[in-house]
Structure 1
Amino acid sequence: MTIKSAYQDLEHRFQRMAVFGEAMSVLHWDMAVMMPPGGAKPRSEQLAAMRVMHHAMMVDPAIGDLLDAAEAMPLDDWQEANVREMRREYIHATAVPSDLVEALSMACSDCETTWRTAKKDNEFKAVLPEMERVLSLSREMGEAKAAKLNCGLYDALLDQYEPLGKSAEIDPIFDDYAAFLPDFLQAVLDKQARDGAPVQANAPFPVDKQRELTRHFAEAVGFSFASGRLDESAHPFSTGYKGDSRITVRYDENDYSQGLMAVMHECGHALYEQGLPDAWHNQPVGAARGMAIHESQSLIVEMQACRSREFVGWASASLARAFGEQAAFEPDNLYRQYIRVKPDFIRVDADEVTYPAHVILRYRLEKALLEGDMKLADLPGAWNDGMQKLLGITPPTDTVGCMQDIHWYDGAWGYFPTYTLGAMTAAQLFKAATDADPDIEAGLARGDFTPLLSWLRDHIHSQGSRWNTRELTERATGRALDPQAFKDHLRNRYLGDA
């Protein structure tokens, strides 16, 4: 076999594995959106079987030989990056035996199903045994990968979501924000008290009207319904693949903004997927560059753009058409609503000032649980203590406390830090974009995301995984991630004259 055919063989193999992944994403979407309860056990078995098959394809010893051959030949920049990403996926896969892959898949599906009922019933103990198994298997997987990656347990799990991410780099960033937050939060609350509360819109907000409104906003930001869907689920999420993006939302008749902003957030994810390079579809280098960048794309839409004065001015008319003319929908009042800061129990509903506290709490707790410094049975109490320390509030139930998020119950350990890393990256990217193109903010005032989306397509989406996160951020903004950009954004938005 020639070196050239070795590389071509690798492309073919990884394309087939990517198609497997696409099929699994649709099965998981169906499970969350429309599968009847009776389908839970067979679906768990289906997903487990497919993951084992996918894993078997990835750990084929021939791939190791092919990678060795391809790495020895001259490749162009994209091919070289593709082989690098293939090698990374191969290392992760070969670190874990197939029986562990199957066991963890089954455990996660079973735990997620139990969590849905336990959350409704506020019964943490009901899901504890299955969560213990997920944690134990996740720890086992992390230890196996840590040995192959020559890093710590937590960093091995983090690397699944944020390649090359290190807790040693995250710790000072999060500690700095935790120290920054108390005084800044108090200053914002004091300013809001001086300014007075904004007028609140009159509920109810019929779900059928909300569905029409969220579709209208999704189209405005550039989401293509020719290659995407918008559905409802217990927890908003985005999945699918290029050509078939699927986003979900939940609606509350007493608060239209929850559903609306969740759709804007998930549209940011979907736009990223829809904008990935066509030439490298179903190749590792054509995939999104880790979850910190992915979260930056959702938050640049939801927080940076859709809560800007410019966009709110356009949105006010759409809200009035949907729900009737109200003083609450006047642009100035609406803007004050959208940047209203109030410590709350629910992460997905949190404002951008307090949101990082939710992530910091989860990050600290999952590290303690994974490293054996805390028992899982103590999670509810530790959660409540952490919320009190960081935000001065204590959840009244575990439903709005440690059971609110799906991630741990579905096996996503090491994922949470990417949310706040993404928020910080979003602030830095948006500043670079608006500095480079003044028409971005003018476009938002017209409800036109084309200028912003064009900049993101050029600097982020079209780059796929050609660069690592640091390199991609540096190329787009001129410097690596700088948490100061996020704090400057918060000061300007929340303590400025707005």
Structure 2
Amino acid sequence: MSYDALTHHFEQQHHLQHLGAICGWDQATMMPTGGSQARAEAMSTLAILSHQQLQAPQLADWFASAEQSPLTPEQTVSLQEMRRQWRDATMLPSDLVGAFSLAGSRCEHAWRSLRPANDWAGFLPLFEEVVNLSQQVAAARAEVLGLSRYDSLLEQFEPGMRSSTLNQVFTEVKQWLPTLISKVQDKQSHDTVLSPQGPFATEQQRALGLDVMRLLGFDFNHGRLDVSVHPFCGGVSEDVRLTTRYDEQDVAQALMGVIHETGHARYEQGLPVQWRKLPVGQARSMGIHESQSLFFEMQLARHPAFIKQLSPLLTQHFGDQAAFDPNNLAQLYTRVQPGFIRVDADEVTYPAHVMLRYEIERDLIEGKLAAKDVPECWDQLMQTYLGLSTKGNYKDGCMQDIHWTDGSFGYFPSYTLGAMYAAQQASAMQAQLGPLDTLIEQNLPSIFDWLQHNIWQHASLLDTDTLITQACGQPLNASAFKQHLEQRYLG
């Protein structure tokens, strides 16, 4: 049966992706510097082999035959998702895939040393090559899909999402976000907040992170925690790899990073086992993925009821101090202050960081902005949105993120989409189960059960709009996000 042949073929594809994910994790966490060139070449070869497998000539006949076969509703959706992945692969020639992978590996590895050195001049030629190849990929995809170049890349991360929708949603957010930031800062200016006094040894921070991961239900039989320059969640559902980074003067950075990545990991571990090796069994979109990490980090971990559970863990690992009082921690973990670094931003100013990156990457791919002009554009938008200048400060400006180094253009909108989806999920959950503080205090697992039932188990069996509408009662909108921020920060 052609459908069975396709499933076998895509299960093999999953195994190649598994190997690529673990190689990428190792590159970011344990690989010696001298292995970078060989690893880049190996990963480029793996990318080519995976791509060539997706372009196998027999697939067209198998798809045509399978579409005429009697299939269950789930198999029909599975076939659609396999076809979507196949369509994406056949858009691009193998030499472009290989060149894109190699340029991304080189740029990403060099970024690790060039960023701390604030070396924009050294980074620019590598970045220009990635941008050039990303534009070629976008042009090839756009021609097949009948979309704009940027939308063709956005489709990879957010199927069905278009820049016209993002423009509309982000324009709405821009109308109320600056005023909200100002009001919250004014309200918080009267607070007295104690900062925890370090140093906080890395090993003790790691132990704390592991305890919190257990509290959040992470399955250590199918995952682990390590260290990388940029925190991420990788691997596959059966073997999830989390990373964080430690600052011995700031325990919150690693703690909240671990919680964020654990949200990603719980989603991966909660995907339906019977579909995991097929496209339909993978995460619906990066926006949905980010909704889970942001639900854990923002909706859950910064809630006063959850902070009451964090407080004794902090005391256990670092000793008693006044700053670990739950009320103080609640204020500390919800401080709003515009800053340079996206991953350290509070949830009120965070959307500004995302909108800035969205506007720049959209114009880069559409050819309206040259790579060499990114620092100036970045500085202008930072001043507009957050009142900060990054002139000459590349490491805390346009070089701070890893995403553009490997050509992941179209990814950044997922972060704020995720925040909106998370707020909608929290609102719907409370309407069905009761107040979040009661759930956290009395039945924390019920929160994960709700997410499992409404989000995780559906994987890609539902499109994003259907998934969110079914879970939350309405499709994407910014109203629940706005209401959440106003309630938490203004009272």
Select which of 368, 380, 387 maps to 2:382.
Answer: 387
Q: 2:455 matched to which residue of 1? A: 460
- Following superposition, the deviation at residue 445 of structure 1 comes to 2.5
Q: Residue 169 of structure 2 contacts residue 477 of structure 2 at CA under 8 Å; is this kept in 1?
A: no
Q: TM-score, normalised by structure 1?
A: 0.97
Q: Deviations over 1:125-181 (max 9, x none)?
A: 101111111111111011101111111100100111111110010001111112211
The answer as to 2:139 corresponding to 1:143 is yes
Q: 1:24 matched to which residue of 2? A: 20
Q: 1:45 matched to which residue of 2? A: 41
Q: 2:68 matched to which residue of 1? A: 72
The answer as to 2:102 corresponding to 1:106 is yes
Q: How does 1:348-359 map to 2 (within 5 A)?
A: 348-359=343-354
In the alignment, structure 2 segments of 5+ residues that lack a partner are none
Equivalent-residue separation in structure 1 for 2:84 and 2:160 (angstroms): 10
Q: TM-score, normalised by structure 2?
A: 0.98
% of aligned pairs identical?
A: 43
Q: Deviations over 1:13-67 (max 9, x none)?
A: 0000011001100000000000000000000111010110101110112111111
The answer as to 2:88 corresponding to 1:92 is yes
| Off by >3 Å, runs of 4+ in structure 1 | none
- Following superposition, the deviation at residue 442 of structure 1 comes to 2.8
Q: 1:243 matched to which residue of 2? A: 238
Equivalent-residue separation in structure 1 for 2:444 and 2:17 (angstroms): 30
Equivalent-residue separation in structure 1 for 2:260 and 2:59 (angstroms): 37
Q: Residue 28 of structure 2 contacts residue 229 of structure 2 at CA under 8 Å; is this kept in 1?
A: yes
Equivalent-residue separation in structure 2 for 1:243 and 1:440 (angstroms): 30
Equivalent-residue separation in structure 2 for 1:36 and 1:261 (angstroms): 28
Equivalent-residue separation in structure 2 for 1:464 and 1:145 (angstroms): 25
The answer as to 2:194 corresponding to 1:199 is yes
Q: 1:279 matched to which residue of 2? A: 274
Q: How does 1:185-334 map to 2 (within 5 A)?
A: 185-194=181-190, 196-334=191-329
Q: Deviations over 1:383-416 (max 9, x none)?
A: 1111110001113611010000000011101110
Q: 1:376 matched to which residue of 2? A: 371
Q: Residue 440 of structure 1 contacts residue 449 of structure 1 at CA under 8 Å; is this kept in 2?
A: no
Equivalent-residue separation in structure 2 for 1:471 and 1:378 (angstroms): 40
Q: Deviations over 1:468-492 (max 9, x none)?
A: 1101001101110121110000000
Q: 2:472 matched to which residue of 1? A: 477
Q: 1:337 matched to which residue of 2? A: 332
Equivalent-residue separation in structure 1 for 2:166 and 2:293 (angstroms): 20
- Following superposition, the deviation at residue 439 of structure 1 comes to 7.4
- The one-letter code sitting in structure 2 at the alignment partner of 1:350 is A
Equivalent-residue separation in structure 2 for 1:90 and 1:286 (angstroms): 16
RMSD over aligned Cα atoms: 1.1
- Following superposition, the deviation at residue 76 of structure 1 comes to 1.2
Q: 1:82 matched to which residue of 2? A: 78
Equivalent-residue separation in structure 2 for 1:242 and 1:467 (angstroms): 19
SS state of the match for residue 226, structure 1?
helix
Equivalent-residue separation in structure 2 for 1:24 and 1:122 (angstroms): 30
Q: Deviations over 1:344-379 (max 9, x none)?
A: 100000000000000000000011111111111111
Equivalent-residue separation in structure 1 for 2:99 and 2:179 (angstroms): 46
Q: How does 1:438-453 map to 2 (within 5 A)?
A: 438=434, 441-445=437-441, 449-453=444-448
Q: Residue 105 of structure 2 contacts residue 406 of structure 2 at CA under 8 Å; is this kept in 1?
A: yes
- Number of aligned residue pairs: 490
